[in-house]
Structure 1
Amino acid sequence: METSNTNKAKREIESIAQKIQHERDELNLQAHLFKAEAKDEWIQVEQKFDQFISQAEKVGNEAKTSTGDIYAALSLLGEEVMNGFNRVRKSM
């Protein structure tokens, strides 16, 4: 059962990561259009994005018992990154 939950959490994190990466790539193409406040937000979101990717890569390596906690933390961080990207997009 734990393996099933671990695999499910890993797949969900990978899906979130793909969505975030896609949004990041789209915004990165438009970076030259950013206003000053959007540039500041972009820098902060990029740092969170890097943190998300780093932590997501560790999911498969962590103990099965902590997968739920890791998934919850990564989901929250992923949501913060997407919200940041949305703020950048709105301020363009």
Structure 2
Amino acid sequence: MSSTDMSQLWQEVKTLRDELRVQIHLAGAEARDEWQRLEARYQDASKKLDELGQQTESVAEDVVDSLGIVAEELGKAYQRIRQRLAEDDQHD
């Protein structure tokens, strides 16, 4: 994964996270619990991304690949929460 791809993917994850943060207070307990778990992973990945700029090129490539995997997992998890919230809205 290139650093440009990583930046785009991370921006998508951040945007999705921001959208969900506004809605999460209305969610059920299960969605809020998952949100809390994701927040810890998000904060860790965000910190590593910030540290990436301080790494050597060979180490940076490994970190970008690892962060890419984490970002993809976070994106999928945020999508699951979004879907649950939409389903909850339809049932109300």
Superposed displacement of residue 76, structure 1: 0.5
> CA deviation digits over 1:6-48, x for unaligned, max 9?
xx83333322221111101100111122111101110011111
Mapped partners of 2:71, 2:26: distance in 1 = 24
Which residue does 2:5 correspond to in 1?
12
Which residue does 1:34 correspond to in 2?
27
- Identity, % of aligned positions: 26
Mapped partners of 1:80, 1:59: distance in 2 = 19
CA contact (8 A) 1:10 1:60 kept: no
Mapped partners of 2:12, 2:30: distance in 1 = 24
Structure 1 segments (4+ residues) deviating >4 Å: none
- State the TM-score, normalizing by the size of structure 2: 0.82
**Equivalent residue in structure 2 for 1:21, among 4, 14, 18:** 14
- State the TM-score, normalizing by the size of structure 1: 0.82
> Could you list the runs of 5+ residues in structure 2 that have no partner in the other structure?
86-92
RMSD, aligned α-carbons: 1.5
Which residue does 1:57 correspond to in 2?
50
| Matched pairs, number | 85
